[in-house]
Structure 1
Amino acid sequence: MKRLIGLGLLLAGLLYPFAVYFGMEHFAPWQFGLLLGGLWLARALTGERRPGSLWMALFAIAFCGLLALLNSPLLLRWYPVLISAFMLGLFGLSLKFGPPVVERLARLREPQLPDAAINYTRQVTRIWSLFFLCNGLIAAALTVWAPLSWWMLYTGLISYGLMGLLFAIEWLVRQRVRGHA
């Protein structure tokens, strides 16, 4: 059940900009709020008890409740900003209250990391933190100043393309760094 809820939230996040853009003529903002809020509530009730996961779920539920209560089309556009803020918090706080997110992921494959790899994962975590900061700022600017179509294009396509590009570049750099080690 946990995986199904996680998959539902992932799909909702990926499809959200398109759902808002194409669904606004069929659904009210309060309906989006109830659907998303229900998914986040289910995650809070069935999810793992990792540090920060409960507060993220509670904050998302509060956002969705506000969206449902205010029924505001403009508020709909702030959800990708919220998700970027969550990711920035997750990556950024892991640098302070480590181990960094990228190090935890690397240790899944290689439990005994050399010091150079630990330093590398810390740098990659910093880069992802910077990415999520910039991504959130761009999404916020588009929410406030751009037409809905631009917002949908960036939050639904361009930002994911940039994430993929960052993944690819990091993978290439990692191969090169491992080759020199």
Structure 2
Amino acid sequence: MNAVFKGIVVVGLILYPFFVGYALAHGQYIWVSAVLIGLGVLRLFSKGNALLWPLTGFAILCGGLSLILKDHAWLKLYPVFMSIGAFIIFAGTLIKPPSMIERFARLAEPDLPPEGVAWTRQVTKVWCGFFCMNAAIALITVFFTPMKIWVLYNGFLSYVLMGLLMLGEFVLRKRQQRLHQMQE
């Protein structure tokens, strides 16, 4: 059942910008606030990784403030807080290793060589920069763009940029591994 809860939360959060866009276009933000709080609570009780707690807390905070203050802007701010939360998580692993990307890399390659550890640390720094940039762009879309642009960026373009960064990192990592193997 835990996997079902996690799946619901992931799908809900991925589709979140579209829910918000639809709800705000129809003057209904209260149910989206409740759904965001519900997704946060589901994540909280799914006993997932403690590293994700900042994201859980931000979901409950944004949904709760939206309801309490009767202000839908908090719903639009959630993607900003998601990027800030991701930055906190990734930066925290630079302070307390292993870095986030090293953790991911070790899933596929448990015996990561020292060069790989150094590489993954640098890539984690790149991700930190990405999350800062993404938070800034998401914040701009909240206050300075029409709803359609907010939905387009936060519901599509930011995911495309993340995918491109993942793909680029994967290609460069494989290239680095080949170069390192050739030097041995």
> Could you tell me the TM-score, scaled by structure 1's length?
0.91
Give the Cα–Cα distance (whole angstroms) in 2 for the partners of residues 97 and 45 of structure 1: 25
Query: Mapping of 1:141-152 within 5 angstroms?
Result: 141-152=140-151
CA contact (8 A) 2:79 2:135 kept: yes
Letter in 2 for 1:36: L
Partner of 2:24: 24
Give how far 1:15 is off: 1.1
Give how far 1:26 is off: 4.3
Is the deviation greater in 25-34 or in 10-19? 25-34
Partner of 1:63: 62
Q: Percent identity?
A: 33
Partner of 1:93: 92
Give how far 1:104 is off: 0.8
Structure 2 counterpart SS, 1:3: helix
Give the Cα–Cα distance (whole angstroms) in 1 for the partners of residues 152 and 146 of structure 2: 10
Partner of 1:107: 106
Query: Mapping of 1:1-181 within 5 angstroms?
Result: 1-26=1-26, 28-48=28-48, 50-181=49-180
Indicate the structure whose relative CO is greater, using CA pairs within 8 Å and at least 6 residues apart: 1
Is the deviation greater in 117-126 or in 102-111? 102-111
Give the Cα–Cα distance (whole angstroms) in 1 for the partners of residues 38 and 27 of structure 2: 16
Give the Cα–Cα distance (whole angstroms) in 1 for the partners of residues 148 and 82 of structure 2: 19
Residues 55/142 of structure 1: CA separation in 2 closer, same or farther (3 Å cut): closer
Give the Cα–Cα distance (whole angstroms) in 1 for the partners of residues 147 and 38 of structure 2: 25
Q: List runs of 5+ in structure 1 lacking aligned partners.
A: none
String of CA shifts for 1:100-125, please: whole Å, max 9, x gaps: 01101111222221110000000111
Give how far 1:30 is off: 2.0
> Could you tell me the TM-score, scaled by structure 2's length?
0.90
Give the Cα–Cα distance (whole angstroms) in 2 for the partners of residues 136 and 54 of structure 1: 18
Paired residues, number: 180
CA contact (8 A) 1:91 1:129 kept: yes
Give the Cα–Cα distance (whole angstroms) in 2 for the partners of residues 169 and 90 of structure 1: 21
Letter in 1 for 2:68: L
CA contact (8 A) 2:19 2:32 kept: no
Give the Cα–Cα distance (whole angstroms) in 2 for the partners of residues 22 and 111 of structure 1: 44
CA contact (8 A) 2:80 2:135 kept: yes
Give the Cα–Cα distance (whole angstroms) in 2 for the partners of residues 60 and 74 of structure 1: 13
String of CA shifts for 1:23-54, please: whole Å, max 9, x gaps: 32446222111111112112212323x44434
String of CA shifts for 1:47-79, please: whole Å, max 9, x gaps: 23x444345423431222111222322222101
Residues 144/68 of structure 1: CA separation in 2 closer, same or farther (3 Å cut): same
Letter in 1 for 2:67: A
Residues 59/80 of structure 1: CA separation in 2 closer, same or farther (3 Å cut): closer
Structure 2 counterpart SS, 1:24: helix
CA contact (8 A) 1:40 1:57 kept: yes
Letter in 2 for 1:90: I
Give the Cα–Cα distance (whole angstroms) in 2 for the partners of residues 176 and 54 of structure 1: 34
